[in-house]
Chain A
Amino acid sequence: MKKFLSLALVLLLALGVLAGCGGGNDASGSQSFGDASNMPAPTGDGEYKDTVILATGSDQNYMDGQMNNTNDKVLRTVYSSLVKRDQNNEIVGDLAESWEISDDNLTWTFYLRQDVKFHNGKQFTSADVKASYDRLLAEDSLVRYASTMRFITDVSVVDDYTITMTTENPSPVMLANLCHRANLILDADYIEEYGLDLGLTAESCNGTGPYRLVQWDKDEMMVFEAFDDYFEGKPPTQNFIIQIIPDTSSRAMALETGEVDIADGLAVEDVLRLQDVEGISVNFYKYQGLHGFQFNCAHEYLSDSRLRRAVSHAINRQAIIDALYAPIGEYCATAPVSEVVFGYTDLGVVPYDPELSKQLMEEAGYADGFEFSILVYPNYNQSLPSAEMIVQDLAAVGITATIEIVDNAGFNAMQGNRTYPGENFPWGMFIMGYGPSSLDADEGLRRLWTTSPDGNNNNNYGWYSNEEVDTLLPQAQVEMDPAKRIEIYKRVMEIVYLEDPAAVFTNQRRIIYCMSDKVEGFQVDMRNAINYTTLACRA
């Protein structure tokens, strides 16, 4: 009798626990998702907190734009560049007051502001710009983004506040590319002192941005203090803290208890739940990012374009979106670049046409199907559930796909160290995100899909190669007429998206920030870079 009672007690508790856990994964909410418009700057009336805390999941690897590959969320607290994107996505001057381009479209002259100071009080001059670009563009440069900006062939000082940049060919994307984080200007003295170790500690950071990094506990928190002499005026909040909370549930909890003011990267369940919590607002923003599964074009079967098309048409993208992404306001991709990227044309959703898939398979001689594996790493925007849905779709046309999971580091390892197409890479498809931070199709397409002379372009992870694309993209790179550029890119995208697919592009991503509704002046652009000059929180 007693044993029975204890058993009953345990069962009851177990049931209670299950009941409490259930209902979390019901991702078919039907809320509407307007894009959050960026909040106006705080009015300043009333009491405001002197510290705003933002919680995020992982730390920056470098506080140096030339080396950082974590994200662009934090760098602009400390640094500025010559030009920047404002909250309407227009390119405006930052450290440069104005600029002009030479008649041959090859030389740009930038007139720098004269009232800019670094955090240590030093006056900002063109020498710092030159030093930054020398470091970035040197022939033996070891920084990460050297190749991204290599289209600039010369950077010269005219006087203390004037600097010229020359490009090899006319560059329509010059200004867009100058907004890339690699262009964040560093202090020339600090470059000399710290070399490649610049940006690993708080002491090695000296910038011109609205905040100063005063304390950096790696993987724990970063503490910033408002810079009194910031050239646009001291920011409204004295202290800004980035708190690293790796566990998503704990992060959501910290927002709810009020221990942090803003949290990002929360799990879908928490995002949906928080919409109904008083005192918390959940904001969705447009984003440069697309999400998809890229083809390994050196794969045994998928090197055949027809089979790639077969795979592409066999997948029901809308169903995947509806099941997994619609609740957080993401929707089907309609091009191989995000809709906010210059050069985008709406090509529609790739048709879901299993019959066509079977036809193509027969044409290619694989009427009975074939197999390959898909490489994913978990916790990346629901890559695993979407991969599972893809596997099912493919099975319906006779293609057997299996899923392999590695962690972030493992994924990295798979991608590196290849000397010839297909080396050490047996997988047929792999999860990938696409987001040109210059918001221009040049970066979004040329970097990714052109064949490099040695056949092994570093960013062409899937060894994609198409002659027409290889001819068109360099043309667009030097075409100054925007309308003509769009035409060229449209053709390229038709190829890469439909005719000779490089990847299965699934969803257009959004940036989601959850915050206390007392936060004011929260502005984020489409590259997920936060504007720190307006951020404040009411008390």
Chain B
Amino acid sequence: MLRYTIKRLLQLIPTLLAVSMIIFFSIRLIPGDPISLMYGLSEAGGVDPAFIEQMREQYGLNDPLITQYFRYMGNIIFHGDLGTSIVTKKPIMDELMNRYQYTIVLALGGTLFGSIIGIAVGIISAVFHNKAADNFLMAFSMIAVSMPSFFLGMILMLVFSLNLGLLPSVGMKGVKYAILPVATLGLYAVGLIARTTRSSMLDVVNQDYIRTARSRGVSKTKIYLSHAFRNALIPILTAIGLRFGILLVGSSIVETVFTIPGLGRFMIDGISHRDYPVIQSTMLVFATTFVLVNTLVDLLYGFVDPRVKYD
């Protein structure tokens, strides 16, 4: 198992290298560059083009792309330096350290919230399948999935912040602030996870070993929650692992709506400013997080399903 773990972790390296390359080159395809943005056009007046050239030189933006790429990756690999923001001139690592926690809280919180409620909803649906409760819960899940998260966030904000005055809508200064954003992300996940849980449970409940358990007098509750659920968990875990990636990126939207100083917004602001180092590094962090979480989920299978062999 240790060997398998190490092997999987080593596989991260080519994946992340490929990702970094794709990010690096594709953002430079978008028109606009950070220097002309900072110093160029505005209602108030433009700057001497010679100055702009000089700034571009200073940031190495005139070097061939390959050189820039190797310089960037070299800094990361050998110095652990994620680069410096062209706009703020501050090291990106510091900014990342400050902001990463908010995004992780959102993504993990949303996943947890979504998983717990989603699994519960899915099990209830499966137990009462084709009855009123099932139809209602599945319709609700479908709505939760189809609703765009910024819309859902605004509705929650409207009800809980404005009309009821219970929860704040801006910032992340304490636990109270996290409730609405996590719920927004989580409800989306609920929709996805509930449906997966339901179908997985229904699948499992028709298996022979469930019939065996019944023939031995095991109660229906125990059959659903213990015998069936343990088996249904495997595809559910896969679903959760994949959803985490969606939630991680979806946190950008929630961070915008709820004005949370997380990584997602940092990346979006970076894109508006065309701040290449910021965009590259934050995307890389997102990609790494996603890949790590998926690896973790893979490893988790071994604990849930004894049939999984590691080789």
Chain A contacts with B in 1-36, Cβ cutoff 8 A:
2-3, 5-6, 9-10, 13
Is there an interface contact between B41 and A411, defined as CB atoms closer than 8 Å?
A: yes
Is there an interface contact between A413 and B257, defined as CB atoms closer than 8 Å?
A: no
Is there an interface contact between A458 and B169, defined as CB atoms closer than 8 Å?
A: no
**Of all chain A residues, which has the CB nearest B161?**
A257
Is there an interface contact between A253 and B157, defined as CB atoms closer than 8 Å?
A: yes
Chain B residues with Cβ below 8 Å from A254 are 169-170, 259
Chain A residues with Cβ below 8 Å from B307 are none
Question: Quick check: is A265 within 8 A (CB to CB) of the other chain?
Answer: no
Is there an interface contact between B169 and A250, defined as CB atoms closer than 8 Å?
A: yes
Instruction: Mark A217-250 against chain B: 1 for CB-CB distance below 8 A, else 0.
Output: 1111000000000000000000000011111011
Chain A residues with Cβ below 8 Å from B46 are 144, 415-416, 458-459
Closest approach, in angstroms, between the C-beta of A383 and any C-beta of chain B? 14
Question: Quick check: is A367 within 8 A (CB to CB) of the other chain?
Answer: no
**Of all chain B residues, which has the CB nearest A180?**
B44
Is there an interface contact between A415 and B40, defined as CB atoms closer than 8 Å?
A: yes
Is there an interface contact between B259 and A247, defined as CB atoms closer than 8 Å?
A: yes
Is there an interface contact between B258 and A250, defined as CB atoms closer than 8 Å?
A: yes
Is there an interface contact between B41 and A246, defined as CB atoms closer than 8 Å?
A: no
Chain A residues with Cβ below 8 Å from B54 are 142
Question: Quick check: is B212 within 8 A (CB to CB) of the other chain?
Answer: no
- Say whether, besides A6-B135, A147-B48, A412-B36, A253 and B41 are in contact (CB < 8 Å): no
**Of all chain A residues, which has the CB nearest B151?**
A17
Q: Which of under 10, 10 to 19, 20 to 34, or 35 or more describes the interface residues of A?
A: 35 or more
Question: Quick check: is B30 within 8 A (CB to CB) of the other chain?
Answer: yes
Closest approach, in angstroms, between the C-beta of A487 and any C-beta of chain B? 27
Is there an interface contact between B272 and A408, defined as CB atoms closer than 8 Å?
A: yes
Chain B residues with Cβ below 8 Å from A245 are 170, 259
Q: Identify the stretch in A155-163, A305-313, A432-440 within 8 Å (CB) of chain B at 4 or more residues.
A: A432-440
Contact of B45 among A144, A200, A416, A432 (CB under 8 A): A144
Question: Quick check: is A197 within 8 A (CB to CB) of the other chain?
Answer: yes
Instruction: Mark B156-174 against chain A: 1 for CB-CB distance below 8 A, else 0.
Output: 0110011001001111000
Chain A contacts with B in 246-305, Cβ cutoff 8 A:
246-247, 249-250, 253-254, 256-257, 259-260, 289
Instruction: Mark A337-379 against chain B: 1 for CB-CB distance below 8 A, else 0.
Output: 0000000000000000000000000000000000000000000
| Alpha-carbon gap, A55 to B154, bound state (A) | 18
- Say whether, besides A250-B258, A259-B170, A458-B49, A219 and B41 are in contact (CB < 8 Å): no
Question: Quick check: is B198 within 8 A (CB to CB) of the other chain?
Answer: no
**Of all chain A residues, which has the CB nearest B98?**
A217
Contact of A253 among B135, B169, B266, B272 (CB under 8 A): B169
Chain A contacts with B in 389-420, Cβ cutoff 8 A:
406-417
| Alpha-carbon gap, A5 to B43, bound state (A) | 57
| Alpha-carbon gap, A459 to B95, bound state (A) | 35
Is there an interface contact between B161 and A144, defined as CB atoms closer than 8 Å?
A: no
Contact of A414 among B31, B132, B271 (CB under 8 A): B31
Q: Identify the stretch in B137-145, B218-226, B232-240, B292-300 within 8 Å (CB) of chain A at 4 or more residues.
A: B137-145
- Say whether, besides A257-B162, A412-B32, A417 and B143 are in contact (CB < 8 Å): no
- Say whether, besides A245-B259, A410-B32, A413-B31, A144 and B39 are in contact (CB < 8 Å): yes
Closest approach, in angstroms, between the C-beta of B191 and any C-beta of chain A? 12
- Say whether, besides A243-B259, A257-B165, A13 and B265 are in contact (CB < 8 Å): no
Question: Quick check: is B61 within 8 A (CB to CB) of the other chain?
Answer: no
Chain A residues with Cβ below 8 Å from B32 are 406-407, 409-413
Is there an interface contact between B48 and A407, defined as CB atoms closer than 8 Å?
A: no
Question: Quick check: is A69 within 8 A (CB to CB) of the other chain?
Answer: yes
Chain A residues with Cβ below 8 Å from B36 are 412-413, 415-417
Question: Quick check: is A461 within 8 A (CB to CB) of the other chain?
Answer: yes
Closest approach, in angstroms, between the C-beta of A262 and any C-beta of chain B? 14
Is there an interface contact between A13 and B169, defined as CB atoms closer than 8 Å?
A: no
**Of all chain A residues, which has the CB nearest B143?**
A13
Is there an interface contact between B45 and A145, defined as CB atoms closer than 8 Å?
A: yes
Is there an interface contact between B40 and A412, defined as CB atoms closer than 8 Å?
A: yes
Closest approach, in angstroms, between the C-beta of A517 and any C-beta of chain B? 17
Closest approach, in angstroms, between the C-beta of A523 and any C-beta of chain B? 22
Instruction: Mark B118-138 against chain A: 1 for CB-CB distance below 8 A, else 0.
Output: 000000000000111011101
Chain A residues with Cβ below 8 Å from B273 are 409
Residues on A close to B: CB < 8 A? 2-3, 5-6, 9-10, 13, 55, 61, 69, 142-148, 181, 197, 200-201, 217-220, 243-247, 249-250, 253-254, 256-257, 259-260, 289, 406-417, 432-435, 437, 447, 458-459, 461
9 pairs of residues in contact across A and B, judged by CB atoms under 8 Å: A6-B138, A69-B42, A143-B47, A218-B95, A246-B256, A253-B169, A406-B31, A458-B46, A458-B49
Other than the given A142-B48, A218-B95, 16 more pairs (CB < 8 A) read A3-B135, A9-B135, A10-B143, A147-B48, A200-B89, A246-B259, A253-B162, A254-B169, A409-B272, A410-B30, A411-B32, A412-B32, A412-B37, A416-B49, A458-B49, A461-B41
Residues on B close to A: CB < 8 A? 30-33, 36-49, 51-52, 54, 87-90, 95, 130-132, 134-136, 138-139, 142-143, 150, 154, 157-158, 161-162, 165, 168-171, 256-259, 261, 265-266, 269, 271-274
Which 3 residue pairs across A and B have the least CB separation, nearest first?
A409-B32, A413-B32, A416-B36
